[in-house]
Structure 1
Amino acid sequence: MRIWAFIIPILFILMISGCQQGVEQAKITLYTDKAEAFQYKESDPHQEKITVALASVISPKASLSKYDYLLEYMESQIGEKVEIVQRQTYQEVDSMLKTGEVDFAFICSLSYVIGLEKGYIVDVAAPVVNGKPLYHSYTIVNQNSPFEALDDLKGKRFAYTDPYSYTGRLSMLSQLEKRGETSEKYFGKTYFTYSHDYSVKAVELGIVDGATVDGAMFDQLLATDPELSTQIRIIGTGEEAGTPPIVASKKVDLQKVDKFSSILFELQSHAEGRELLKELGVDRYVPINQQDYQVIKRDLYLLGEGL
């Protein structure tokens, strides 16, 4: 059964990009399963617990099921209740890390660089995918479209994932900047889908002409759903950067951070851990190499004053 059977088409909110100052945002309602706070297991409010935030980089239900077993395992190893908090955007998760409302989070590489720059996060771990702790964006179009390169998308409808996504936005802004272009002037209309798989679906359905998405995520979708290759073509890639890491709020006790990190690093050393990694599409977790994110740090200025 194709993965899209689990993502009923009427399914995502595309928001016209507010990159240009003063442009009013409009909505096209295409999905109804917008992520809300989700508590993994009911717990006594007075009981010690660990909170872990997820941004819905893939559709909310798929995003939750993807990490469900990992966090259940973390709970068993740490000996404290784990509460999952799911949010639709990276900015919401970033805000919760900043205030200490959540202890840990799975975030985007761009959010990681911003958090380091502003000093409110601590390194936990980075995933190695396909042998490398690096990934890049894909520019995708519909298989039946005439588009062969980014040049062909000038003046067309284009989907971004999230304002604070590297592969889902900043990578494309960088590619355009190297051409002496801006997103506002280059594309006819831009949208935010707030989920990489929703961006893929928007291209498949012809709602937009092209999109920029997480290449590692797209490869996983393709492995799950080979038929997708008959619907979508990749016409370009962005520059490599460090994979989306796991981080902790700076307000979290460092002993707890070390414990969380150690459990992740040791997953590859036993059968149950290797099965969890397989479920996540991750080879293993490793310490974060901050140098892997320099390309993102270099391009932060492209986000403008909204940073």
Structure 2
Amino acid sequence: MNAVTNIMAGDGDDAFRASVVGASEVAALFGQHPWLTEFELWHRKAGNVATPDFTGNERAEWGVRLEPVIIEGACDRFGYQKMETPKRLTNEAGLGGHPDQMVMCPQRGRGILEVKTADWIVAKGWGDEPPLNYLLQVMSYMGLAGCDWGDVIVLVGGNELRRFQYQFRPVIWADIEARVAAFWRSIAAGDPPAADYTRDLPTISALYPEDNGDLIDLRTDNLAVDAADRWLTGKALEKQGKAQADAAQAELLDKLGTAGVALLDGMTVKCPTTKAQPDREITADDIGTIIKGRKSYRRFSIVEKRG
């Protein structure tokens, strides 16, 4: 989380981040990162695409603001004693990061905390453990800090503190370091990993933002032909799906009439009115200029009841 803190604070540590695979990025090398593929990570570190700017991201901002509060709460509840925490950690071989908090535990000695926030509905889907990308992140920090243990502390729903305790696993740490080393060798060799076409459209679009006017012949490329067929099929299904949804909405709206809400078994249909905004004149300097208003409209939605 400190990586986001520093990005938002504009602390000038971008050069360090560009020179390492961050602990929070390690999961991409295992195919276990929910928002980042190895393909995108490779092109970020190679300088081919920009790393996203988290400034203005509400979720990131409030996670950062709550971090010290969560740490204090965890110390009070679990008996940790805060220790001086380095701004950054690195193995000097391309792996690094910004740790959240080093602590001393009366029972386990020196360790590290990785702090997270999560919506309760998200955490409900975790089961007994948080996502693997969190575990790989805290394992990376354990290895970087030379700690025997690390805890993932999660504030769920803003009012429930959960702790997940982990011991250092040398085999996993060795695998992390090996994958990071192989990653940087591929950067040096200019050999990117294969794209995940189900996830990497934004990255590929960023790599090729403009055409050069050339014409290429892909008629003998069977994979290109298959991809084109799948695109056409997908677009047709998308159009068919919209038409189906529009027809269903029309039928339901006809049944609702002027009602704003309707109950069905296991579902609630909502179609409230958003009020119109009239045209209006603006400041005296711009008398006669009209800001166009907006007609009222109804927002249609269906909410399924959870079992």
Give TM class, smaller chain: under 0.3
Please identify the structure whose Cα radius of gyration is greater: 2
